[in-house]
């Protein structure tokens, strides 16, 4: 399996699919998942002639499980190593949930000389936790409770999330997929405990407001209006106001896991944006 090694000797696993000469599309996954969660999109776009690349964030999936570095700056720095290792240019970046924060921080921290456009799917920016600057955010106590639940019984928590709010299976008239629940659970348990614990702070408390204001590339925001994990009023509907060249598309009634639930719609929107 292919790996890169970062400056602190963390090994990062990545996939490199599709046409090696095609335009690269780089995917950043959400918490506490890994690159497997984007396989439908990678396979589809690879079939369309694109080069599709996704990594397992440090501490997640098949990557190393270091004690340190579970913050947005380090995530962005790790991703830069991958860009440089593969000499990627004219990249379309795609980030889901936490991965959307990673995309925004990467572009703000390292510039967009290698990036032509970006897509944020159900993503955490600009600032997920409730604060004076984020009046529609989620109270910090909610994230404290997630951390407490991890310490008590991580295995059960990582069943409860996909069985409930991640895919909206806790709502009436929504048919659950046991396969999706088990896939989420298995990916989550592959994540190192420290990485999963620390990443909760990274995705919830990082303020991406200044980062989003810096961007001068086209950014497409895709977000479900019934997202219980990253409510659209706290994220995409605020983020679109900060982007110079932003476009927001809302999926009515859709949950947080739109890449898994609305596969055809998300794939079509990614392809259309890539072709622009």
For the stretch 168-218, pLDDT in tens is 999 999 999 999 999 999 999 999 999 999 999 999 999 999 999 999 999
Q: CATH second-level architecture of 3-275?
A: 3-Layer(aba) Sandwich (3.40)
Of residues 48 and 133, more confidence is placed in 48
- 97 noted as active-site residue: yes
63-80 mean pLDDT: 98
* Catalytic site residue from 35, 63, 64, 97: 97
Domain boundaries, the chain: 3-275
Spatial contact of 251 and 224, defined as CB atoms under 8 Å apart? yes
- 110 noted as active-site residue: no
- 160 noted as active-site residue: no
Instruction: Based on DSSP, count helices (H) and strands (E) in the chain, helices before strands.
Output: 10, 8
**Number of Cβ within a 10 Å radius of residue 146:** 16
132's tokens = 């004076």
Spatial contact of 143 and 204, defined as CB atoms under 8 Å apart? yes
Residues near 117 by beta carbon (within 8 Å), at least 6 away in sequence: 92, 93, 217, 218, 219, 220, 273, 274, 276
Task: Give the pLDDT confidence score for residue 1 in this predicted structure.
Answer: 72
104-123 mean pLDDT: 98
User: What are the DSSP calls for 12-68, one per residue?
Assistant: EEEEEEE-TTSPEEEEE--TT--GGGGHHHHHHHHHTT-EEEEE--TTSTTS---SS
* Catalytic site residue from 122, 223, 256, 269: 256
d(CA 5, CA 85): 10
- Chain-centre distance for alpha carbon 222: 12
């Amino acid at each position: 399996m292919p790996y890169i090694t970062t400056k602190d000797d963390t090994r990062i696993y990545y996939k490199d699919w599709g046409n090696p000469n095609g335009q690269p599309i780089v995917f950043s996954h959400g918490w506490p998942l890994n690159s497997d969660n984007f396989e439908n999109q990678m396979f589809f776009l690879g079939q369309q002639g694109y080069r599709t690349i996704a990594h397992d964030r440090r501490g997640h999936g098949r990557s190393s499980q270091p004690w340190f570095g579970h913050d947005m700056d380090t995530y962005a720095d790790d991703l830069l190593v991958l860009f440089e290792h593969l000499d990627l240019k004219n990249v379309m970046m795609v980030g889901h949930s936490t991965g959307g924060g990673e995309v925004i921080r990467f572009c703000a921290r390292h510039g967009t000389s290698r990036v032509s456009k970006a897509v944020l799917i159900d993503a955490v920016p600009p600032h997920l936790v409730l604060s004076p600057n984020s009046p529609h955010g989620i109270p910090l106590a909610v994230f404290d409770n997630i951390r407490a639940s991890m310490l008590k019984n991580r295995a059960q928590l990582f069943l409860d999330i996909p069985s409930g709010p991640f895919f909206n299976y806790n709502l009436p008239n929504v048919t659950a997929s046991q396969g999706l629940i088990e896939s989420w659970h298995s990916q989550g348990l592959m994540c190192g405990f420290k990485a999963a614990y620390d990443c909760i702070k990274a995705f919830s408390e990082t303020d991406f407001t200044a980062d989003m204001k810096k961007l001068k590339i086209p950014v497409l925001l895709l977000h479900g209006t019934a997202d219980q994990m990253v409510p659209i009023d706290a994220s995409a509907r605020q983020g679109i106001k900060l982007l110079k060249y932003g476009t927001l598309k809302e999926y009515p009634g859709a949950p947080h896991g739109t890449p898994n639930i609305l596969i055809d719609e998300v794939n079509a929107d990614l392809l259309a944006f890539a072709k622009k």
